[in-house]
Structure 1
Amino acid sequence: MTATGTRYLARVCLWGLLLSLAVVVVYPLLWMVLNGFKTNAELFANPFALPHQWGLGNFAAAWDRGVSSYLATSVFVTIVSTLSTALLSAWAAYGLTRLRVPLEGPLTAVVLAGLMLAPTVALIPLVQLFQRLGLYNSVWALVILYTAFRIPFTTFLIRAYMVEIPREIDEAASIDGAGPGYTFWRIVLPLCKPIMASVVILHVLFAWNEYLFAMIFTSGAGTQTLPVGLTNLMARHGTDYPVVFAGMAIAALPMVLLFFGGQRWFIRGLADGVGK
């Protein structure tokens, strides 16, 4: 086989692999959305067929059965925890890379050691702590937990990006009279837009889909997020599965739009940061 034939065969195999991966990822989402338009009888008769009638009745039913409340809670928890995690992690990364901090090495090791802490290990003491603080069964419990457990990872990503920014920029700002706060907000942070976008997308995906903390630390329609709330749509007897699929489609839509909308920034941030 010639060199041209080998390259052509390798390209065909690569495109075949990518197409197979796309089918594996897209088909379950498409199947879920299509089943949201069916009735229970249609679903059990042939779950892989197209709906006989197209209507938004199941989506309206899911919305009225609590998905609207769960969606609002998920949006609040996700936005607040994303902002707090991104800003605190950026501050920590800035201090560890741009400032002269006593015991910088041990502090960096302590922050990164948080990556090895499994959330399940701390569940019992955390429940007792939040009960004593009066934060148990509140959205603020989830905000604090999501922020605390994601700061080590996001700090690691931002720090890897900030290390590559020349220190001469800070020195020039200092000569012009800029303090650390001004340098961080007006100079360093804008240069970190790609990695910050990656951090935001990763945290939004985590907070939106997190189930364990949301199940243990909240109860009731006013505090439960979408992953936990969707389980309430399933009854012990006579579950209306198309309504459940409709609710799942509503929950998945914002994340799909977010990822495809921020895909360019997400890939650029990870490639320029961790890839260096």
Structure 2
Amino acid sequence: MKKKAKLQRWGIGEYIWFIILVILAILIIYPMFWIIMSSFKDYNGIFKDVWGLPKEWLFENYKLAWEKGISNYFVNSLIVSVGTIIGVVLISTFAAFGICQMKSRFANLCFLLIMGGLLLSPQVCLLPLYMLLKNLGLKDTYFALILPYIAFRLPVSVMLIRSFFISIPKELEESAIIDGATFFQIYKKIYLPLSKPIISTVIIMTAYYSWNEFIFATMFIDSSEKQTIPVGLMVFSDGLMTNWGVVMAGMVIACLPIAILFIFMQKSFIRGMTAGSIKG
């Protein structure tokens, strides 16, 4: 019989890191747990029994939150986020593929110019963007948010996708060219299928940004019918000054899409972040 492998004993360093991770997990998980529990309480339940579980589970808080306006903010954020994700994925993959194919100083110059976008702060560009969108007649439309969101997410997305594209074996591309494939067919049939992990990473990062962005959503949207979740929650909480259970329910609804997206795509997200950060 084979000898059983000895269990590796933890040293002091491992115990210290374990304790730190447990503390961080509690600091992250407990506020989420408290918000979820509070969303099922009424006003007295929240303030008179802060740490306790709901004595009566008020599921109607979620129905009331949805009817009071969260549904409208939710749909607006969904439209803006989906439009931003589609734009970022299409443009960044095309740009990264083109830069990888050119193999010249001009390609390096284009890449450096795109990376220059990382130096721009959204707050610095706020006034010029406001005037530009107003002159173009795009202010108070979904495009007033989608276009700036795409612009500010492109640099980091192109950087990650280009790093992943460089790691794809050139033999695959050369074989496809010999078989008569065009560059678009190579992009569609080889690069995109192999790049699902990094594209998943870009999708999650873009969705998180566009779903939670507040400054542009405040400045570029005037009508309440087109307000997104971050601005809508502020208006929503002001309109329900004492009904905090319903407010908490609205917050839970607002957090659900990103949480569900990350749960379903977390493996690809981690693989994509690892590949995109160490290759190229």
Shorter-chain TM range is over 0.9
Residue identity opposite 1:167 in structure 2: K
Secondary structure of the residue aligned to 1:178 is: coil
Q: Report whether the alignment pairs 1:81 with 2:84.
A: yes
C-alpha spacing 1:135/1:239, structure 2 compared with 1 (3 Å): farther
Match for 1:16 among 15, 19, 42?
19
Q: Distance in 1 between matches of 2:136 and 2:130?
A: 10
Structure 1 residue aligned with 2:110: 107
- Residue pair 2:81, 2:207 contacting (<8 A) in 1 also: yes
Q: CA deviation at 1:184?
A: 0.4
Q: CA deviation at 1:222?
A: 2.0
Structure 2 residue aligned with 1:124: 127
Residue identity opposite 2:262 in structure 1: F
- Residue pair 2:138, 2:144 contacting (<8 A) in 1 also: yes
Match for 1:33 among 25, 28, 36?
36
Structure 1 residue aligned with 2:58: 55
Moved more, 94-103 or 135-144: 94-103
Q: Report whether the alignment pairs 1:46 with 2:49.
A: yes
Q: CA deviation at 1:189?
A: 1.2
Q: Distance in 1 between matches of 2:182 and 2:241?
A: 64
Q: Distance in 1 between matches of 2:190 and 2:250?
A: 43
Q: Distance in 1 between matches of 2:104 and 2:188?
A: 19
Q: CA deviation at 1:6?
A: 5.8
Q: Which runs of 5+ in 2 are unaligned?
A: 1-6
Structure 2 residue aligned with 1:238: 241
Secondary structure of the residue aligned to 1:213 is: helix
C-alpha spacing 1:45/1:103, structure 2 compared with 1 (3 Å): same
Match for 1:188 among 187, 191, 195?
191
- Residue pair 1:95, 1:101 contacting (<8 A) in 2 also: no
Secondary structure of the residue aligned to 1:134 is: coil
Q: Distance in 1 between matches of 2:33 and 2:81?
A: 25
C-alpha spacing 1:55/1:175, structure 2 compared with 1 (3 Å): same
Q: Report whether the alignment pairs 1:209 with 2:198.
A: no
Moved more, 34-43 or 153-162: 34-43
TM-score (ref. length: structure 1): 0.93
Q: Distance in 1 between matches of 2:125 and 2:247?
A: 32
Q: Report whether the alignment pairs 1:92 with 2:92.
A: no
Residue identity opposite 2:269 in structure 1: F
Q: CA deviation at 1:47?
A: 2.2
Structure 2 residue aligned with 1:144: 147
Structure 2 residue aligned with 1:172: 175
Q: Distance in 1 between matches of 2:203 and 2:241?
A: 39
- Residue pair 1:162, 1:192 contacting (<8 A) in 2 also: yes
Q: Distance in 1 between matches of 2:222 and 2:29?
A: 32
C-alpha spacing 1:17/1:207, structure 2 compared with 1 (3 Å): same
Q: CA deviation at 1:10?
A: 4.2
Cα deviation digits, residues 220-260 of structure 1 (max 9, x gap): 33211111101111227834222111100001111111111
Determine what percentage of the aligned residue pairs are the same residue.
35
Q: CA deviation at 1:269?
A: 0.7
Match for 1:199 among 190, 202, 208?
202
Q: Distance in 2 between matches of 1:156 and 1:37?
A: 43
Residue identity opposite 1:15 in structure 2: F
- Residue pair 2:197, 2:272 contacting (<8 A) in 1 also: yes
CA-based RMSD of the aligned residues comes to: 1.9
Residue identity opposite 1:141 in structure 2: A
Q: Which runs of 5+ in 1 are unaligned?
A: none
Aligned residues: 274
Structure 1 residue aligned with 2:3: none
